A and B are shown apart, each in its own frame.
Chain A
Amino acid sequence: MVTTRTETGPLIDGATGKWEIVIGMEVHAQVLSKAKLFSGASAEFGADPNAHVSFIDAGMPGMLPVINRFCVEQAVRTGLGLKAQINNSSVFDRKNYFYPDLPSGYQISQYKQPVVGEGIVLVDLPGGKTIEVGIERLHLEQDAGKSLHDQHPDQSFVDLNRAGVALMEIVSRPDLRSAEEAAAYLKKLRAILRYLGTCDGNMEEGSMRADVNVSVRKPGGPLGTRCEIKNVNSMRFVAQAVDYEARRQVDIIEGGGTIKQETRLFDSKKGETRSMRSKEEAHDYRYFPDPDLLPLEFDDAFVARIKASLPELPDDKKDRFMKDYGLGSYDAGVLVAERESADFFEQVSRGRDAKLAANWVINELFGRLNKEGKAVGESPVSAAAMGSIVSLISDGTISGKIAKDVFEIVWTEGGDPAAIVEMRGMKQVTDMGAIEAAVDQVIAANPQKVEQAKAKPSMAGWFVGQVMAATGGKANPQAVSELVKKKLGI
């Protein structure tokens, strides 16, 4: 596979000079659907052993696959979200190998003719740069069951609940160049899938898994031998695995060795990759078109219907936020990372100062949510309440500082912000006469400070602080500051 990335990315140091890391990812995303890809058993997670298993999933004699239309639609939907070519005709192939969690002895997958072709994902990196990551293809395939190896000294137990659940395998081109890029790509891909509703992207539960291909090369040199790190189930681990593996490979090459192409696992406890204890011979999957199925075919109208039903995707939403709300790239990017966040923000900013709303949503609300490990949907401060707070600031009813207190009260106790402000007398003092009186009072009581301030203007802040304390924090800090400076003559 050829990388489309031409410019040299970030480099790491080796003993012999700088090295470039080349990364590609194969992401397995479980399709959100009620039933499995080729059987009518439930695709839901977490049932009792073998409760979500039909005779087809169990590979019983004489059983045959019938494809779930919705899973096909989800794959097409995802392909459109990846701005990819949709193949109206594709073929299901059998991938043959033996493993207890693969009851038929083959996985129904797509080999030479996948349902989705080339596409692209734009990834914003922290720091402001945007990279283009090429998508090679997306195909549909069956997930395998699960084996438990630690329940018994010499037996493994097999649960086929997951066997046959629809997976989309999304293959990127080797366009990623660092652990940070790899994690950012995965995050963006997950956001796209969640926006589309085609996968919930839950890596902890295993509904999204990444196989990471890593190789190293001297900048401008030919691609090195790659190793595949299988089934990494968090973005953090992906980054760690990339860093470890790149370093491992650089050390080997600089030590005079060569990289053996192999499959590895990431040991998250040790933060290392290690070789999988695999069979001696390489896999020969003997792919051939599944004779129990016919070629998958749909017309342009099928694709058009799905296209018409697509939600606004992150890239378009970000552009719109920047254009319509005047937000900067970073803020817009943060808001659209999750559809729920973007929707929350738009509710807050409706009919209000968008930049102010963005500031509060990102810094106060998201900051607090992250700290307490809550998702937007679990926010104790609703979009309406947040909007209310923003309005109260905009119209001068409360200062920014008081707003933080109001936010805290709503978060911990609930309630309507306007009512809280009213009941607790938190309204900002804007009566200039009262403020002026307070300023005069502080100036009169501190003649030495007045002299010091005239020499060192930054001391005006002390006066502001005193006035704020004297007014119980309710004076408009801006007004106080201007008045203090005027009265001090600085």
Chain B
Amino acid sequence: MSKLTDLTIAEARDGLKKKAFSAVELTEAHIQSVEKARALNAFVTETPALARAAAAESDKRIASGAMRPLEGIPMGIKDLFCTKDVLTTAGSHILDGFKPPYESTVTRNMFNDGAVMLGKLNMDEFAMGSSNETSYYGPVINPWRRKGSDTKLVPGGSSGGSSASVAARLVMGATGTDTGGSIRQPAAVTGIAGIKPTYGRCSRWGIVAFASSLDQAGPMARTVRDCAIMLKSMASHDPLDSTSVDLPVPDYEAAMTGNIKGLRVGIPKEYRIDGMPAEIEALWQKGIAWLKDAGAEIVDVSLPHTKHALPAYYIVAPAEASSNLARYDGVRFGLRVSGKDITSMYENTRAAGFGREVQRRILIGTYVLSAGYYDAYYIKAQKLRTLIARDFEEAYARCDVLLTPTAPGPAFGIGEKTDDPISMYLNDVFTVTVNLAGLPGLSVPAGLNSEGLPLGLQLIGKAFDESTLFRVGEVIEKAAGATPRPQSWWEV
């Protein structure tokens, strides 16, 4: 039997039901994994005591035949989700000591379904980053390495702790959030699956806000099916979130029939960017071939405003963030640095508490909203969003899903792109359009490149059609073959 930590959520669910092992055993195995993997720096806070207690409870329920959908499954929670009475930092110094007196709706849903929390996962500070290098708690290291090299690589971001911990088998699944690609891009560069659901599918209540009109919570796991299982528990209509949509949550697993005959797959030509690395183009072609083989119809489509998405994103997201982060002021929670008066206290606290990237984005955001610039920047960017959303609507008249690469390259070295913010921003070139339009996007592991590093393919769907994404995603996943476990260099 393979190690307990190698199981997928679907397999573990089966195993627990059949009593092949207990929830406590399953959790214990993962706690060991976590303790041995501190070199990855994936966790900000480990919660073994809570995990053991939850696992024991799960065993009781399994014994009494009252198994819930995520019963006993060891999970990691991105540190952006407020977890009751457990330190929640958002990867930032400014939330030092913050223990929320409330639970986010998404994590409450998961714990109500029996999930076991192993701890809070490291992330880019306030979800601002694509490499998990902006965290106050230090970078997360990708468990994957280039063949024959021991260069430390980034796990993607901002959900870097989530992707690394899932890939390294420290947890069976993890929550992430995605504002411009922060679930999909890290999933792609660590060889796992991750989905950003349609905006409004998962509640944002209790998730530290970055950019309110773009943020969305989603699952990250080793297989597409596991993501479907997790999403079913995470998603809900939440009356506490005015942007939460009142639609029933479908049985996503049931939609994974394996049959995509006649499905129209759109290939947007504008995603073929200048300087696109050959291996990414090749991957894309492979994906097209796999889907064609499975009976899908391939359709060329155009999303003309694609190239304006990144700049529009880097206006809207910082603008909303500059307002959302105004509450971090040292008055009611977190770090306080004293000052001679209230203004100095605010200024000193925020200067000490926020890292460089966060400060930069707050300043950009403040500037683009300020008098005289609002129309030229913010309104302009919001108009681009309308155009981008319209592009997708028109494309969806001719196809059912879109296939694109997830990221413009594999994992890069830690420190390689930190000098130039814009080169870092370009990591999101394939993913941001999806957040701007509010649509769902799934990254599927699609094999390893010549250096042995994972690459991913992205499927973009119609609003609230995550079912189709899971169905098509599984086809790609099967065609690509299972992604191997990264060879451990990190265990002590």
A378 interface residue, CB < 8 Å from B?
A: no
Which residues from chain B contact A67 at a C-beta distance below 8 Å? 242
CB distance from A118 to the nearest CB of B (A): 25
B43 interfacial contact with A, CB 8 Å: no
Closest CB in chain A relative to B418 CB, distance in Å = 26
| A60-103 residues at the B interface, CB under 8 angstroms | 60-67, 94, 96, 98, 100, 103
Hey, which chain B residues are within 8 Å of A96, CB to CB?
A: 322-323, 326, 369
On whether the beta carbons of B213 and A60 are closer than 8 Å, the reply is: no
> Is A106 in contact with chain B by the CB < 8 A criterion?
yes
A292 sits at the interface (CB 8 A)? yes
How many chain A residues have a CB neighbour from B under 8 Å? Answer: 30
The B interface is mostly helix, strand or loop, or mixed, namely loop
Closest to B367 in A: A286
Q: Is the CB of B208 within 8 A of A291?
A: no
CB <8 Å contact, A60 and B326: no
How far is A64 from B239 in the complex, measured between Cα atoms in Å? 10
Interchain nearest-CB distance for B217 vs A (Å): 11
Main secondary structure of the interface of A (DSSP, over half): loop
Contact (Cβ within 8 A) A64 B102: no
- Please, how many angstroms separate the alpha-carbon atoms of A59 and B240 in the complex? 15
Q: Name the residue on B nearest A282 (C-beta).
A: B371
Identify which of A62, A94, A103, A287 gathers the most chain B CB atoms within 10 Å of its CB.
A62
A201 to chain B, nearest CB (A): 31
Question: Which residues of chain A are within 8 angstroms of B329 by Cβ–Cβ distance?
Answer: 98, 105
Q: Which of B100, B322, B371 contacts A60 (CB 8 A)?
A: B100
B70 part of interface (Cβ distance < 8 Å): no
Answer yes or no: B154 CB below 8 A from chain A CBs. no
Please state if B204 and A62 are interface contacts (CB–CB under 8 Å): yes
Residues of A contacting B371 in the complex (Cβ-Cβ under 8 angstroms):
284, 286
The distance in angstroms between the C-alpha atoms of A279 and B343, with both chains bound, is: 10
Interface residues on B, range: 35 or more
Does residue B98 face the partner (Cβ distance < 8 Å to A)? Answer: yes
Asked if A411 lies at the interface with its beta carbon under 8 angstroms from chain B, I say no
Question: Among A104, A105, A279, A291, which residue has its beta carbon within 8 angstroms of that of B213?
Answer: A291
Chain A residues closer than 8 Å to B242, beta-carbon distance: 64-67, 292-294
Interface check B95, CB cutoff 8 A: yes
Residues of chain B within 8 A (CB-CB) of A63 are: 205-206
Q: Which residue of B lies closest to A289 (CB)?
A: B382
Interface string of B374-408 (1 = CB under 8 A from A): 10001000000000000000000000000000000
Render B317-360 as a binary contact track against A, CB cut-off 8 A, 1 for contact: 00110110011010111000000001100100000000000000
Contact A58 B332 (CB under 8 A): yes
Contact B342 A60 (CB under 8 A): no
Chain B residues with CB below 8 A from A156, complex form: 342
Interface residues of B in 72-106 (CB under 8 A from A): 82, 88, 90, 95, 98, 100-102, 104
| Chain B proximity mask over A255-286: 1 for CB below 8 Å, otherwise 0 | 00000000000000000000000010000101
Contact of A288 with B by CB under 8 A? yes
Which residues of B have CB within 8 Å of A98?
Answer: 326, 329, 343, 346
Chain A residues positioned under 8 Å from B95 (CB to CB): 61
Which of A62, A66, A94, A279 is close to B104, meaning CB atoms less than 8 Å apart? A62
Q: Check A55 for interface membership: any CB of B closer than 8 A.
A: yes
Name the residue on A nearest B212 (C-beta).
Answer: A291
- CB of A288 within 8 A of CB of B332, answer no
| Residue contact B204 to A106, C-beta cutoff 8 Å | no
Tell me whether B370 is interfacial, beta carbon within 8 Å.
yes
A289-316 vs B: 1/0 string, CB under 8 Å? 0011110000000000000000000000
Within 8 A of A (CB), among B185-220: 204-209, 211-213
Whether, in the assembled complex, B467 has its beta carbon less than 8 Å from a beta carbon of chain A, the answer is no
> B98-118: which have CB < 8 Å to A?
98, 100-102, 104
Are A288 and B323 interface neighbours, CB within 8 A? yes
Contact yes or no, B366 A286, CB < 8 A: yes
Whether A158 is near chain B, meaning CB under 8 Å from some CB there, is yes
Q: Which of A64, A103, A286 contacts B241 (CB 8 A)?
A: A64
Q: Report A106 CB to chain B, min CB distance, Å.
A: 6
Residues from chain B with Cβ under 8 Å of A158 in the complex: 331
Whether B346 lies near A60 (C-beta < 8 A) is no
The contact sample of 22 A-B pairs, CB cut-off 8 A, is A60-B102, A60-B332, A61-B82, A61-B88, A61-B208, A61-B209, A61-B333, A62-B100, A62-B206, A62-B208, A64-B241, A100-B342, A103-B332, A106-B323, A156-B342, A158-B331, A286-B322, A286-B370, A288-B378, A291-B211, A292-B209, A294-B242
The 10 closest A-B pairs by CB, nearest first: A105-B326, A291-B212, A286-B369, A291-B213, A62-B206, A59-B327, A61-B208, A104-B327, A284-B371, A62-B82
A60-B100, A66-B241, A96-B323 known; 17 new pairs, CB 8 Å cut-off, are A55-B101, A61-B327, A63-B206, A64-B242, A96-B369, A98-B343, A103-B332, A105-B329, A106-B323, A156-B342, A284-B371, A286-B371, A288-B323, A291-B212, A291-B243, A292-B209, A292-B212
Interface residues in chain A, defined as those with a beta carbon under 8 Å from any beta carbon in chain B: 55, 58-67, 94, 96, 98, 100, 103-106, 156, 158, 279, 284, 286-288, 291-294
